[in-house]
Amino acid sequence: MPDIFISPKNTEPSVPVETSEIPKTDFQKHQFPGHTHNRLSAFCLYPDGVDFETRSDKERIILLLRKHPITNLKWIIITLLLLTGPTLLGLFGIFSYLPVGFSLVISLAWYLVTSAYAIESFLDWYFNVYFVTTHRVIDVDFYNLINKRVSDAEIEKIEDVSYTTGGVLRTMLNYGDVFIQTAAEVSEFDFAAIPNPEKVVKILDDLRQKV
């Protein structure tokens, strides 16, 4: 009997290309679409020259993530507004009530605090990163200036992975939150405001299948 309908063969590999073949050479690594040499990138597949304290010798970093660069907009705008502070104080004549030296020192101190705010905000964004390695997911948090928290969970302990996007900006720029439920000590990982959340979920699902 002739076949009435033959479903098209699934030409896509069952395992996403990102993790099905872990690149062994730099050339292979550079072929992946998500690979970048931009040090300020928020999404980098197989990053070059990146390492962290607790990485074991056999462990390879698959993904480096941090918050989408657009999340920096708030502190950049605040910094720009703060920079106008001494000029506005001068325009409103506040400095005229003070001795000459005081107005200069107040202006310098204002710029000093503004620079601290900008530097701290940038460092906070840059160094709060998430890693997906061949063995683990890792969340590195720095908070309150001198405190850090490094949480990790083995890939095999991941129970569920989901993501959310929503809102105009998040939809337009394609970033969102990825939630990872685990059976490890830290029961939930929240990769907040990361770019391409659907790709991250796909990579994690793929890794879980392989384990």
Partner 1 sequence: MMQQISFLDFNVWILVKTLALVLLGMYLVFSLVVVRQVKMMTDTLQLGFETPAKFLAYFHLAFAVFVFIAALVIL
Nearer to partner 1, 101 or 166 (CB): 101
The least CB distance from residue 207 to partner 1, in Å, is 22
Nearer to partner 1, 140 or 161 (CB): 140
- Buried-state track 123-146, b at ≥16 Cβ within 10 A, e below 16: eebeebbbbbbbbbbbbbebeeee
Q: Which amino acid is at 8?
A: P
The least CB distance from residue 164 to partner 1, in Å, is 27
The least CB distance from residue 89 to partner 1, in Å, is 16
Q: Provide the token pair at 75.
A: 């502190």
Nearer to partner 1, 79 or 181 (CB): 79
Q: Are 181 and 168 in contact (CB under 8 A)?
A: no
Nearer to partner 1, 151 or 181 (CB): 151
Nearer to partner 1, 40 or 80 (CB): 40
Using CB under 8 A as the criterion, which residues of the chain lie in contact with partner 1 when the complex forms?
39-40, 48-53, 64, 97-99, 101-102, 104-105, 108-109, 111-112, 115-116, 119-120, 122-123, 126-127, 129, 140, 142, 145-146, 148, 150
Q: Residue holding tokens 């310098």? A: 108
CA nearest to 77, candidates 37, 48, 114: 114
The least CB distance from residue 70 to partner 1, in Å, is 19
Other Cβ atoms within 10 Å of 181 Cβ, number: 15
Contacts of 43 (CB under 8 A, 6+ apart): 34, 36, 63, 64, 65, 194, 195, 196, 199
The least CB distance from residue 7 to partner 1, in Å, is 46
| Alpha-carbon separation of residue 75 from 34, 78, 115, 122 (angstroms) | 27, 5, 11, 8
Nearer to partner 1, 99 or 166 (CB): 99
The least CB distance from residue 28 to partner 1, in Å, is 20
Q: Are 195 and 9 in contact (CB under 8 A)?
A: no
Q: Which amino acid is at 117?
A: Y
